Amino acid sequence: MSKQIPVSHMAFVRARVGRSQELGLRLSALIEPSRAAPGCLNFALQHSQCDPELWLVSGFWSNQQAMTAYFSSPAMEIFAELVQELVVNSLDFHTFKDVSEAQALRQSGAVVHKLVG
């Protein structure tokens, strides 16, 4: 039996000038249904403190299957609507998975210096 690895997504969503309040209002409709989705560990909408046009939508999921199912849900249609209705200026979307220290070292080739304290 394979171990389920937690995964997450982050979407940096930039509103068109003058549309940030509308964007925030419409994205806020995702919060409760997303938190209730199967496998959702956490879901948040955040607004930048220094850039009034920038919003962050993030979700943490119990496994890849739960996140993938969420991406296929009707809730995700809001992103297409926001782009089509010219509310969004840009959308930068990324998914992530947990890695061990050894995996991170192999992927980056970096040397880690441990601090002794």
Reported as a single tens digit per residue, the pLDDT across 20-48 is 999 999 999 999 999 999 999 999 999 99
**The domain that contains 101 carries what CATH number?**
3.30.70.100
- Non-local CB neighbours of 8 within 8 Å, separated by 6+ positions: 58, 59, 60, 61, 67, 95, 96, 97
Residue 87 domain flag: yes
Residue 63 domain flag: yes
Is 28 within 8 Å of 45 (Cβ atoms)?
yes
Residue 13 domain flag: yes
Token pair 């947990």 is at which residue?
98
Strand-pairing partners, residue 19, are none
Query: What was the pLDDT predicted at 103?
Result: 66
- The structural domain count of the chain equals 1
- Non-local CB neighbours of 95 within 8 Å, separated by 6+ positions: 7, 8, 9, 67
* pTM of structure: 0.81
Domain containing 24 equals 7-108
More confident call, 5 vs 114: 5
